[in-house]
Structure 1
Amino acid sequence: MKSNILSWLQEGNITIPAVLLSEYKNLNLNEFELVLLLNIIAFLEKGNEFPTPEELSSRMTISISECNEMLRKLIQRGYIEIIDGHTNDGIRFEKYSVQALWERLIDLFLMNNKTNREISKQADETDLYTCFEKEFGRPLSPFECETLAMWMDDDHHESVIIKAALKEAVMSGKLNFRYIDRILFEWKKNGIKTIEQAKTHGQKFRQKQTNNRPVKDEPNQASSVPFYNWLEQ
């Protein structure tokens, strides 16, 4: 009994990326092909680099001929490779390689990430256009749309920074693209890339305006420029 348990433990484990289990369908693999690949990986990790169809099918519910056909198709479709080699003694050998599988899985992972980023970017852009049209009270002109796209694609301003510049223009009573472009230019020149940095810069700018404001004698005249924290929601 103890020896049986020891043999079971000595079977060991195999290491596979969890993403293979979640994405094999998107690699156009079915469950039989997945299990066959997992068995090949298991044999490779145990040192058997070229398991026979008999060895592989004995672990599955498919026949040897079905296993042969499945192996042929996996090789043909570029999921596994058979590599030829020679030992130090000059003896020729063959072995399976699953590197192509990992490369395809990485390509799929990168493509999914790129797609998700593009979807997120499109959502940000749509939201940005909506914010501008709401503040301007009208649809944007083709030139204004082109300017917005330029701020994002050429100048690489984040949408939150562009929204912050829009709010600054609204609070300053200068709602036009030239003024907003100037704000973004000044922020970029000063290395401002986050909301917090823009917030600090705005506070310093207003404080400077307050300190430079000439004092007047009229009793009803306000003594300072009222502060408006335009970045607060």
Structure 2
Amino acid sequence: MNKEKMAEWLAEGSIAIPKLLLHHYKNIGLTETEFMLLLHIHSYIESGVLFPTPAQIAEKMTLSPAECMDGVRRLIQKGLLAIEEHVDEHSIRIEKYSLKPLWEKLVHHLLSEAFYGEKERYEEEEKSLYTMFEQEFGRPLSPFECETLAMWVDQDGHDPAIIKAALREAVLSGKLNFRYIDRILFEWKKNGIQTIEQAQSYGKKFRKYQQSSKASQPQSEHKQTIPFYNWLEQS
């Protein structure tokens, strides 16, 4: 094989295609043909040809120049491609294609997907929150208790997962009532506790402190075998 020809092939370089675009082009309204059309336009731009003609694009595809022109028009109408003015090195104004609308639409789609996914998770957490409380209390919650739960989420801004952790802490401490749980949440918020891991670590520290405190007491006073921390006594 001719080494010069091989070097010529390698010198053509490569084109980077974001995996996110490959995975989500259908979700942002692209057909396979439009996707390939955009990739060829992207390839031309990377090669320094900022405004390839329909005929140039058709050379790389199984479409006719007229079909390429129609495809470009559809992409512009869909808000996935733009034509901008560009001033070259000779101060001459020329037109060029811009893929900025494509990237903006892709980012918007990904952010929306993440937002609705998180919102759905949050709503599921909130639904299971009531179920978990009723299971631990062994009865349906009263209207006042339901209102308190809603207040913790909506007004106080506690994540449902954190409220569940406070419930578990109350169960562990043998103080299963809403006033006690409210005090735990208050203490956690005051101390910047925002994640399950932080809540668990905080609880462990207090239980360790409680154990060491009880170990220093006379044996006659050391009757309780389960580590206990009274959150209601905190100021």
Please state which band the TM-score falls in when normalised by the shorter chain.
0.7 to 0.9
Q: CA deviation at 1:191?
A: 3.4
Q: Return closer, same or farther for 1:15/1:142 CA change in 2, 3 Å cut-off.
A: farther
For the pair 1:199 / 2:204, whether they are aligned, the reply is: yes
Residue deviations 1:46-76 (CA, integer Å, cap 9, x gap): 1110111011111111111111001011112
- What SS does the corresponding residue of 1:94 show, helix, strand or coil? strand
Q: Which whole-Å CA distance do the structure 2 matches of 1:132 and 1:8 have between them?
A: 67
Percentage identity across aligned positions? 47
Question: Are positions 1:225 and 2:230 aligned together?
Answer: no
Q: What does residue 112 of structure 1 align with?
A: 113
Q: Counterpart of 1:25 in 2: which secondary structure?
A: coil
| Aligned equivalent of 2:37 | 36
Q: CA RMSD in A?
A: 2.5
Per the TM alignment, residue 122 of structure 1 is displaced from its structure 2 partner at its CA by 2.3
Tell me, in whole angstroms, the C-alpha distance in 1 between the residues paired with 2:62 and 2:172: 71
The equivalences for 1:87-166 within 5 A come to 87=88, 89-166=90-167
**1:12-45: CA deviation from partner (whole Å, max 9, x where unpaired):** 1112211001000001100000000001111111
Q: Structure 2 unaligned runs (5+)? A: 230-235
Query: 2:86 matched to 1:80?
Result: no
Q: Output the TM-score relative to the length of structure 1.
A: 0.84
Greater displacement, 173-182 / 68-77: 173-182
The answer to whether the 8 A contact 2:83-2:96 is kept is yes
- The number of residues matched between the two structures is 224
- Using the TM superposition, name which of 162-171 and 4-13 deviates more: 162-171
3-state SS of the aligned residue for 2:123?
Answer: helix
Output the CA distance in 2 between the equivalents of 1:57 and 1:111.
Answer: 35
- TM normalised by structure 2 equals 0.84
Corresponding residue for 2:27? Answer: 26
Measure the CA separation in 1 of the matches of 2:100 and 2:42. 11
The equivalent residue for 1:182 is 183
CA offset digits 1:93-151 (Å, max 9, x no partner): 11000001000000011111112212222232233222101011222234323322332
Q: Deviations over 1:67-93 (max 9, x none)?
A: 100101111211111112333544221
Task: Provide the C-alpha distance between the structure 2 equivalents of 1:190 and 1:206, rounded to a whole number of angstroms.
Answer: 22
